[in-house]
Structures are given as structure tokens and as C-alpha cells.
A = this chain, B = another copy of it.
Amino acid sequence: MEVCITSLLRDRGFKVTPQRLAIYNMLSSTKSHPNAEMIFNELQAMYPTMSLATVYKTMEILKEIGLVQVLNAGEDSFRYDAVMTNHPHVRCTECGQVEDVYDINIDAFVNEVSQGTKYQIMGQQFYFHGICPTCQRKNSN
């Protein structure tokens, strides 16, 4: 993993720094789709001098070299995902958590849209919203 990001950075003329590795490692080992602030908060314990600006700048680079994708699930901040396969996401409107939607084949649907529009489709994002199992349980009590 680190070999991968290390060489990807170097090949593009970016330097390999502890902050960048830490940010990418944190992101690739969580399924919480954190935003910049969540990443910043989590890393502050280990890297007390970490700055939010560094998180943003690093995300910009990681996006550029294709290691993260940016999510925009209708909130006021962007979330980040180190899983690069394009899958739908679902956000709980009560607790705010964002999860992956697994086992869904989107190709047929994407193809249908691609053929039905005059746009040259380059990508897509599917966002569902609803109530997560935990909040459903809370509500029924």
C-alpha cells in the first residue's frame, strides 16, 4: 500500500511526507467517509501540529493522482473515500452517517443513461438518503 502511494506521489513530483501518508492511511482504513474536519480531528492525537489546510491540500493531491474520490451527499461539506470503485452511497438523515451500498450493479443503469443523453458521460454519483437500522430501532422505542 505505502509503496503504491509513495511511488505515485514521487512520479508526479510530489514529495512523500509523514502527513500525507498518515492522511491516506487513516482514510483507507475507515469506512466512515470522513470529511476534512473528521480526518483532522482523528489525526490530531498522533500529529499534534497537523493543520486543516494540510488535510485539504493533501486531499487535492490524492484526488489528482486517483487515490481518493470526493463525495457530496447533500451536506455542507465534502467527504472523502479511498475506495475508488464507483458505488452508490446512502446517508442517514437522522444521525448523518454515510455508508456504502454494496452488491449493486450500476452498469446497466449507467449505460442506459449514457445512451439516452447527448452528453459524453465521464462519471456519476448516486446518493440515497433514509434512516439507518440503528436509528430505525431508536425510533420504534
Contacts and interface: CB of A to CB of B under 8 A. Distances in A.
A128 B119 contact: yes
Contacts of A36: none
Interface residues of A, number: 36
Contact of A128 (B123, B127, B131, B132): B123
A128 B109 contact: no
A133 B118 CA distance: 6
A74 B125 contact: yes
User: Looking at chain A's contact residues, is the secondary structure mostly helix, strand, loop, or mixed?
Assistant: mixed
B90 A119 contact: yes
Interface stretch (A1-9, A18-26, A99-107): A99-107
A66 interface: no
Given A72-B74, A113-B101, A130 B126 contact: no
> Which 7 interchain pairs have the tightest Cβ spacing?
A121-B130, A119-B130, A124-B128, A120-B131, A122-B130, A118-B133, A72-B74
Interface of A: 70, 72-74, 88, 90, 92-93, 99, 101-104, 106, 109, 112-113, 116-133, 136
